[in-house]
Amino acid sequence: MNYYIQLLVNGISTGAVYAIIAVGWALIFSILKFSNFAHGGTMVCSAYAGMLLTRLVGANLPLVLVISALFGGLVNVGVEFISFHRLRQSSKQVLLYFVSSITMGLLLQNIVALKFSGIFYSFPNFFPVRFLNWGGITFDVADITMLCIAAVSIAALVTVLRRTRVGISIRALSMDLGATSLMGVNVNFVVLTTFFVAGALAAIAGVFVGVRTILSPQMGTLYTVKGFMVCVIGGLGSLSGALWAAILLGLVETFLTALIGAGLAPVGTFLFMLVFLILRPQGIAGQFVTDKA
């Protein structure tokens, strides 16, 4: 019994990482109506930036999180400027968004790889006690911290979206671009803000992945794939759907890893996703977003 509770805990904390990635992804999808495949690239860049910070000045976890988040936000603003800004004005062709964001992701990832490939880096241990034993179940302190910060940042995001002026503009933009700009909203500013927020979330996810395991430039690709999967399962462009799908995918992956081994788990995850998409193509949230594809 304890074993399964243990798996549950691990699954939820894996899901938390996916959730932070997927929420940022869904946010951008809801306003651009297209997936930003450069998300993983931003994540890698800011995770390495955080790692450098701990190496050079010995920063502690909160400082690393804050600075990486700022850095990730700025990187994502750069991504918007380079790979989406002109396209948003000129073209509606879905292929271009696709190629542009994939290339941007590869670019960011390989710029990091140019400098850091070959050696694996990791964050120093931030926690005095790494594991807690509570009633026969072992908790990884890093996981718990991560879960809390993920919850707090998602709650903060939801509050911003619900209560503030910027949040309302973001939601309005996701419904109708033309009407929003007629209401006197500076569309470009709102798009950039959204990219900044999504980048900051990606950076937090990147730091967590680094704290839990090790850093490698290739993790950008891996988590881009995961983020996309979660968003599709959740229903593209839906925040709550993405949240639930992230936890679901985290659990499925953890249980599959326990059942058939880490090597074959991707095969199981793929089959799970395929069956899910055939049974419920609109995703968990169920809103059928008509995107540009």
Partner 1 sequence: MQMFNYLLSYLINNVFILMIGMLGVYVLTGLTGMFSMGQAAFMAVGGYTAAMLAKFLHWPLIATLPASVLMGALFGLLIGLPAVRLRRDYVAIVSLGFGEALVAFLNNSASLTGGALGLTDIPKYTNEYIIIGALVLIIAFIWNFKKSRFGRQCIAIKSDELAAASMGINVARVKLLVFVLAGAISALGGCLYVHTTTYLDSSAFGWDQSSMWIIMVFFGGINSLTGSIFAGIILGLIPEILRFSNELRIVIYCLLVLFIVNFRPEGLFGTVEWDMRTIRRGIGKLSGRIKAVRARKDVK
Given the rule CB under 8 A, which residues bind partner 1?
Answer: 35, 82-83, 86-87, 90-91, 93-96, 98-100, 102-104, 106-107, 110-111, 113-114, 117, 221, 225, 228-229, 232, 236, 261, 263-267, 269-271, 273-274, 277-278, 281, 291, 293
- Structure tokens that stand for 290 in this block: 């008509």
| Nearest-approach distance from CB 263 to partner 1, in angstroms | 4
| Nearest-approach distance from CB 252 to partner 1, in angstroms | 13
- Structure tokens that stand for 270 in this block: 């793929």
Q: Are 32 and 162 in contact (CB under 8 A)?
A: no
Spatial CA neighbour of 4 closest among 136, 147, 148? 136
| Nearest-approach distance from CB 84 to partner 1, in angstroms | 10
| Nearest-approach distance from CB 38 to partner 1, in angstroms | 10
Amino acid at 194: T
DSSP SS3 for 215: strand
Instruction: Indicate the residue among 101 and 180 with the shorter CB distance to partner 1.
Output: 101
Strand ranges for the chain from DSSP E: 131-134, 137-140
| Nearest-approach distance from CB 245 to partner 1, in angstroms | 13
- Structure tokens that stand for 150 in this block: 């993920």
Q: Tokens 């006197």 belong to which residue?
A: 184
| Nearest-approach distance from CB 111 to partner 1, in angstroms | 6
Annotate 106-157 with DSSP letters as a single string: HHHHHHHHHHHTTS-B-PPP--SS-EEEETTEEEEHHHHHHHHHHHHHHHHH
